[in-house]
């Protein structure tokens, strides 16, 4: 049985929804696994949304481990960057403290589900951690906003969502699973025509994220995120994919460049 470590800041309704759906899928046996613990970088009383998330965790009787990154940072008498790394020294110390708190657990897989901290190198090497990125394996890097603007700028024909192994290089870990969807044809073409002849800077200045094409691409990506996470954990639980030494293998131990779950995801997508 797949044992899962669940990392979430718990900052909004989406974080609760992710946990709810995965827990329910486990309960009915659709995902062959269990959530071994939930870790949050917030603590009770820090934020109203966080407290709602913690209440949900307690209702499910899941082990909850918390360490406030905000309080930890304020307690550290450290400034500047760590030696040769992109993370401040307090963040490296924070990850070390988190790992100490998790020594009683040995998860097969850790899922970053709305975890609002970049994971440092030491933690990346200690756990197999997967994260969601709103693009195809060959697609743009960065935040979901940056991805969409890059798609519009390049006049792309498709986008997607992927789960990738967390590495010190942001959004560049080996692809675990992915799905794709077209951003041409109906209902997209109408909105591509509306921006024809305009530069990205003009669209950003006049409409920003309220642009109809921008919103439509976001909508089609967003509805696929949760199904992809569920399908990914289902595939892990059934042994269809494995991670070994930072590489992805299929059930026959053949290395693969990511597992295409487009068909499975599209079965449950409703727009």
Which of 262, 252, 41 minimizes the C-alpha distance to 161?
A: 262
Q: Helices 212-237 and 144-153 meet at what angle, rounded to 10?
A: 120
Q: Return left, alpha or beta for 29; rule: phi > 0 is left, psi -120 to 50 is alpha, else beta.
A: left
How many residues appear in the chain? 271
Rounded CA-CA distance 165/160 in Å is: 17
Give me the sign of the Cα torsion angle 95, 222, 64, 22: negative
Taking residues 161-171, what's their average pLDDT? Answer: 83
Q: What is the pLDDT of residues 169-195, one digit of tens each?
A: 766 789 999 999 999 999 999 999 999
Q: What is the pLDDT of residues 74-114, one digit of tens each?
A: 988 665 444 444 688 999 999 999 999 999 999 999 999 88
Q: What is the DSSP string of 13-58?
A: HHHHHHHHHHHHHHHTTSS-EEEEEEEESS-TTS-HHHHHHHHHHH
What's the angle, vertex CA 65, arms to CA 62 and CA 71, rounded to 5?
150
Q: Helices 212-237 and 13-27 meet at what angle, rounded to 10?
A: 30
**88 phi/psi in degrees, rounded to 5:** -60, 155
CATH of 1-127, one of 3.40.50.2300, 1.10.274.30, 3.30.565.10, 3.40.50.170: 3.40.50.170
Mean pLDDT of the chain: 92
Rounded CA-CA distance 11/4 in Å is: 20
Give the H or E element holding residue 181: strand 175-182
Question: What's the pLDDT band for 20 if we cut at 50, 70, 90?
Answer: very high
Give me the sign of the Cα torsion angle 55, 57, 60, 64: negative
pLDDT higher than 50, residue 230 = yes
pLDDT of residue 84: 45
Give me the sign of the Cα torsion angle 74, 79, 84, 87: positive
Taking residues 52-77, what's their average pLDDT? Answer: 94
Task: Name the residue ranges covered by the structural domains of the chain.
Answer: 1-127, 133-159+167-271
CA 236 vs. chain centroid, Å, equals 16
Percent of the chain with pLDDT over 90: 79
Taking residues 61-81, what's their average pLDDT? Answer: 85
Which of 119, 137, 97, 99 minimizes the C-alpha distance to 258?
A: 137
pLDDT of residue 147: 94
Rounded CA-CA distance 40/52 in Å is: 13
pLDDT of residue 167: 84
Answer whether 215's CB lies under 8 Å from 190's CB. Answer: no
Taking residues 38-51, what's their average pLDDT? Answer: 95
pLDDT of residue 170: 66
Taking residues 17-38, what's their average pLDDT? Answer: 96
Q: Which residues pair with 37 in a beta bridge?
A: 5
Answer whether 177's CB lies under 8 Å from 258's CB. Answer: yes
């Amino acid at each position: 049985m797949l044992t899962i470590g669940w990392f979430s800041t718990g900052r909004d309704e989406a974080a609760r929804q992710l946990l709810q759906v995965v827990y329910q899928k486990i309960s009915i046996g659709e995902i062959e696994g269990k959530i071994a613990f939930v870790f949050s970088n917030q603590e009770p009383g820090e934020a109203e949304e966080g407290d709602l998330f913690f209440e949900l965790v307690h209702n499910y009787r899941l082990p909850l481990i918390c360490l406030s990154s905000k309080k930890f940072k304020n307690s550290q008498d450290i400034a500047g960057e760590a030696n040769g790394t992109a993370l401040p020294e307090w963040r490296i110390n924070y990850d070390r403290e988190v790992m100490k708190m998790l020594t009683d657990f040995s998860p097969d897989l850790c899922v970053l589900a709305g975890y609002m901290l970049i994971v440092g190198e030491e933690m990346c090497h200690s756990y197999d951690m997967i994260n969601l990125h709103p693009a195809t394996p060959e697609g743009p890097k960065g935040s979901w906003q940056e991805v969409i603007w890059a798609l519009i700028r390049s006049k792309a024909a498709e986008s997607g969502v992927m789960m990738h192994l967390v590495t010190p290089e942001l959004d560049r870990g080996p692809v675990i699973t992915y799905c794709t969807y077209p951003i041409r044809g109906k209902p997209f073409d109408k909105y591509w025509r509306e921006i024809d002849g305009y530069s990205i800077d003009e669209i950003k200045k006049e409409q920003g994220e309220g642009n109809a094409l921008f919103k439509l691409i976001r909508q089609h990506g967003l509805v696929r995120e949760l199904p992809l996470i569920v399908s990914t954990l289902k595939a892990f639980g059934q042994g269809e994919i494995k991670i070994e030494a930072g590489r992805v293998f299929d059930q026959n131990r053949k290395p693969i460049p990511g597992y295409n779950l487009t068909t499975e995801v599209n079965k449950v997508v409703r727009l």
